[in-house]
Amino acid sequence: MIPLAIQPDFLAAVHPPAGPAESADAADRLGPLGFVAPGSRLGVVAVEGVLTREPHPGTIGCAEIIESLAAAADDDRVDAVLLHLHSPGGEVWGCEEAVRAVAELHETKPVTALAADMACSAAYWLACAAGEVVITPAGCVGSIGVANVIYDESEWYRQLGLRVIAVTSGTLKHGFPGEPIGDELVEHQMEQVDELFARFAADVAARRRLPARRIADDQARVFTGRLAVAAGLADRTAHASAVYAELMEGMQR
């Protein structure tokens, strides 16, 4: 059971298109997800898709994000970085390390996060580590929360004439396919979800200078455009093309 920080409606299957980094010239690439914007000194790290610890088909690995950020940090052609996000979030595992990598890069080169058009849950955690969060007018951010989905398939197994018996060394070492899911296991999973959410919410609150209680009270609410700015989760709204033009201005090679 993998703890998730993701918009629920993206959980089943997401097949994102190839990111802009894949079409960049090899010489202008910054790791697997980044590139130097043509004719400028702006590095772009494109995070488009569901986040996982390691990359899988149809997902973005946090390890890839970290590698691309490190490449931008080390590249003398890059004076500033745009973190271009279109992601519903994903796995909690690996995300915190990527968040730290964004924050560390911003200490040496200014990092702007652009929610174009989505930076939700774990993806928002990445965004809030940047120096500025910009959201497109119709974009969305938020969904700050953690989930762990457990499937109780015991009735289906019973109808197939199968009975699953798991012999374990502890009362909480359960949740195998076909086993009934008891309240004790659900409570145990809830403890983990609560602990991970506390870390997530506290970090977002600190980086965005918001009361931690406010994050919890939002109940994983999603905010669009100007509402995100009013809620303190974004600094301003702007179209993606305008953000690129603004950041590239004065950074000509």
Does the pLDDT at position 24 exceed 60? no
Confidence band, pLDDT 50/70/90 cuts, at residue 244: very high
**Lowest-pLDDT choice from 3-17, 32-46, 160-174:** 3-17
**Tens digit of pLDDT for each residue in 43-92?**
999 999 999 999 888 899 999 999 999 999 999 999 999 999 999 999 99
* Domain, as residue range, for 243: 4-146+211-248
Which strands, in side-by-side order, build the sheet including 89-91? 4-6, 89-91, 50-52, 59-61
Q: Is 23 within the bounds of a domain?
A: yes
Please give the tally of structural domains in the chain. Answer: 1
C-alpha 109: how far from chain center: 21
In a domain, 229, yes or no: yes
The tokens describing 108, both together, are 């040496």
Which of 225, 204, 224 minimizes the C-alpha distance to 214?
Answer: 204
In a domain, residue 104? The reply is yes
- pLDDT category of residue 13 using cuts at 50, 70 and 90: very low
Residue length of the chain: 253
Looking at residue 33, the DSSP 8-state letter turns out to be: T
> Which CATH number goes with the domain that contains 73?
3.90.226.10
> Does the predicted model carry a pTM greater than 0.75?
yes
Considering the domain boundaries, does residue 253 fall inside one?
Answer: no
Domain annotation covers residue 216: yes
CA-wise closest residue to 45 among 125, 126, 120: 126
pLDDT at 172: 80
Asked whether residue 123 is domain-assigned, the answer is yes
pLDDT digits (tens, 9 = 90+) for 174-215: 888 888 888 998 999 999 999 999 999 999 999 999 998 999
Residue 39 lies in a domain: yes
152: in domain: no
Q: What is the pLDDT of residue 166?
A: 85
Q: Between 39 and 71, name the one with better pLDDT.
A: 71
pLDDT digit string, tens, across residues 211-228: 989 999 999 999 999 999
Q: In the beta sheet, which residues pair with residue 113?
A: 83, 133
Question: How far is C-alpha 147 from the geometric centre of its chain's CA atoms?
Answer: 14
Model confidence pLDDT, tens digit, residues 102-157? 999 999 999 999 999 899 999 999 999 999 999 999 999 999 999 988 899 989 99
